Amino acid sequence: MQEAVNAIVALMILANFLLLGTGSLRAAIRIVAIQGLALGLLPLLVHEKGLTLRLAIIAVLVILLKGIIIPRVLMKGLRELNTGRGITYYVGPVASLLIGILVMGSSLWWGYLLPLPDQPGYRLAIPMVFFTIISGLFLIVTRRQALMQIIGYLVLENGIYAFGVFFAQSESMLIEIGILLDVFVGVFIMGVMVFHISREFDSIEAGQLSTLKDWFRERRKSTETESPS
């Protein structure tokens, strides 16, 4: 069991590095789907008490949602949106990978400072969690397309979920399903937003949103001049 868990943890770390280094939107969606599948298997293997109905339901839900449904929706969006297949960056892939190595180093250090209390075997688990969360945020910040921000959000959420798997084993099923629902709704809303951005600005670069601010300011100015009070 322990080897299997460690293999999945390693797979997730690897997926993060791949995401930081890839230049293709299609590949990014595939990688995040693989990460989701791996994540879905994690609770089945971590819990030594064996397979309960609760665990099975959650695992199936996670695999369905993160491994299949959301990636499919994203792929479909990618096909329908009139956009290039390449990722555009604020920070390029090479620099991203270097930063990723730094973050992984720090995560190992934090994992050393914060060991898992009752499962000393999973030494890479906590570093993986930190690395996944920070990679997710990093992807959101440094990738220009809104689609990559959904992927970043998914990665971030994967990290949080993995933390929950290792730490909060007595969480109620209701909460876990609730979180899954949140993720789904979050992705759904972001998808709608991406669609609207692409329709308004003819691109899916989230940076374009800042033009809305000028629009607001213009409108404010015009209303102020209209009503001298």
Q: Contact between 207 and another protein (CB under 8 A)?
A: yes
Which of 138, 166 has the CB closer to another protein?
Answer: 138
> Interface with another protein by CB under 8 A: which range of 32-40, 49-57, 59-67, 105-113?
105-113
**Which residue shows structure tokens 């001298």?**
228
Count of residues near another protein by CB under 8 A: 23
Could you say whether residue 211 binds another protein (CB under 8 A)? yes
Q: Virtual CA dihedral for 51, 52, 53, 56, nearest 10 degrees?
A: -40
Query: Binder to another protein among 10, 95, 168, 212 (CB under 8 A)?
Result: 212
Residue 178 engages another protein in binding (rule: CB under 8 A): no
Exactly one of 49, 53, 213, 226 binds another protein (CB under 8 A); that residue is: 213
Q: Which residue is listed with tokens 């601010």?
A: 213
172 touching another protein, by CB under 8 A: no
String marking each residue 55-74 x if it binds another protein according to CB under 8 A? --------------------
Determine contact, residues 134/103, Cβ cutoff 8 Å. Answer: yes
Should residue 174 be labelled a site residue for another protein when binding is judged by CB under 8 A? no
Binding site for another protein (CB under 8 A): 90, 106, 109-110, 113-114, 130, 133-134, 137-138, 140-142, 144, 149, 206-207, 209-213
